[in-house]
Amino acid sequence: MLILLNKPFRVLCQFRDPDGRAVLKDYVAAPDVYPAGRLDFDSEGLLLLTDNGRLQARISEPSSKVRKVYWAQVEGDVSEQQLADLYKGVRLKDGMARAVSASRIEAPNGLWDRQPPIRQRASIPDSWIEVVLAEGRNRQVRRMTATVGLPTLRLIRYAVGPWTLDGLKPGKTREISDAEAWQALQTVSPP
């Protein structure tokens, strides 16, 4: 079974927390499932969980190159040069990081309010960009956007491979059978 969860803001990608923060068990009742990849505490969006080790590896192993689509609300007015730099690659402390694609987008339709909301500054505009990655390192999108001068204010993972957030409200889940998940992965082409 594959579970699609729209992980809310400030939820840990684990099932227990000694500090009492919100965790996955607050949203997922299925036993013996594990995340196929991670999503930071302060990021929102699509998180996949499964009880199938082979499926988890196929989705999350870097060699699988399953694309992940992120929507980032960033501080500043995005330039074509900044988008080109994300695409060409930027140097991070743990090596080069490159987006499969990076583009400016309008604020996504039907986006839920985040609690608490992002900070707003009257003198500094904000913009939305879509960043597609074929790898996933710790806080990678945030570090990449900061490197090109666009600090991330809000980060939402919209898609992982063939699965998206469409029709999935924050904190809600949808289940897919292993057979359906494997079939959907057949449509995924490497970057």
Catalytically active residues, by annotation: 40
All residues at 6 or more sequence positions from 191 whose CB lies less than 8 Å from its CB, including other chains: 65, 67, 100, 134
* Run of H or E residues at 184: helix 178-185
Work out the angle between the directed axes of helices 178-185 and 53-60 (0-180°, nearest 10). 30
Three-state DSSP at 132 gives strand
φ/ψ of 169, rounded to 5, equals -75, 155
The CA-to-CA distance between both ends of the chain, in Å, stands at 26
Six-digit token pair at 107? Answer: 């604020």
* Run of H or E residues at 100: none
Q: Where are the alpha helices (DSSP H) in 12-159?
A: 53-60, 80-88, 140-147
* 163 CB-side CA count, 13 A: 26
